[in-house]
Amino acid sequence: MKRLYGAYGSNLNLKQMKVRCPNGKVYGKGVIKNYRLLFKGLPLNSYATIEPENGQEVPVLIWELEEEDEEALDFYEGYPRFYEKELIEVHLQTKEVIKVMVYIMTDNDEDRININTPSLRYLNSIKDGYLTSGFDLSYLDEAVSFSKLKGGKNNG
């Protein structure tokens, strides 16, 4: 059974996804409206997630996954402990609105509840995905700025 999955973090990176999900195929691009991209975790070791916020939007690359690809991503994402799965509306570039599965960080782990900044390596992996997907880097820059601001003194 195939599943549509919306990637907004390191799974935007085509090279990494080829390893993680060898049967995965890019389905399209779109945005999740009224959500914000941010980073949660420990200082300089935070990971991407999204949270509802009116007026914000998050670009996503939609993947069509086989069952074994989704199982591999579940393992990679630490599902269900670190990330949970939700079906969420995505507005495609074609103007079509579809529901896709996304991973959203849980509050189940104390090390992942605080807003903080990502490592440079992780951030560059996402940046590479933004560039190859043709996404505007301002979304990513804003997410890092927001996370630095909200993380406060924890961010050096």
Domains, in order of start, for the chain:
3-145 (3.10.490.10)
Say what the pLDDT of residue 153 is.
44
Report the predicted TM-score, pTM, of the whole model to 2 decimal places: 0.93
pLDDT band at 110 (very low <50, low <70, confident <90, very high): confident
Distance CA 41, CA 18 (A): 26
- Bigger pLDDT: 27 vs 156: 27
pLDDT confidence tier of residue 130, bands split at 50, 70 and 90? very high
Instruction: Dump pLDDT digits (tens) for 6-55.
Output: 999 999 999 999 999 999 999 999 999 999 999 999 888 899 999 999 99
Give the separation between CA 70 and CA 18, rounded to whole angstroms.
13
Using one digit for the tens of pLDDT, what is the confidence trace for 84-102? 999 999 999 999 999 999 9
121 to each of 7, 10, 127, how far by Cα in Å?
Answer: 18, 10, 10
Residue 156 has pLDDT above 50, yes or no: no
> Which has the closest alpha carbon to 63: 108, 103, 100?
100
**Would you call 22 helix, strand, or coil by DSSP?**
coil
The predicted structure's pLDDT at residue 141:
97
Using pLDDT thresholds of 50, 70 and 90, give the confidence band for residue 69. very high
The secondary structure of 40-104, three-state, reads EEECCEEEEEEEEEEEEEEEEEEEEECHHHHHHHHHHHCCCCCEEEEEEEEEECCCCEEEEEEEE
In sequence order, which residues have a C-beta less than 8 Å from that of residue 40 and are 6 or more positions away? 46, 47, 49, 105, 112, 113, 114, 115, 116, 147
Q: Which position has the higher pLDDT, 97 or 155?
A: 97
Average pLDDT over the chain, rounded to an integer: 93
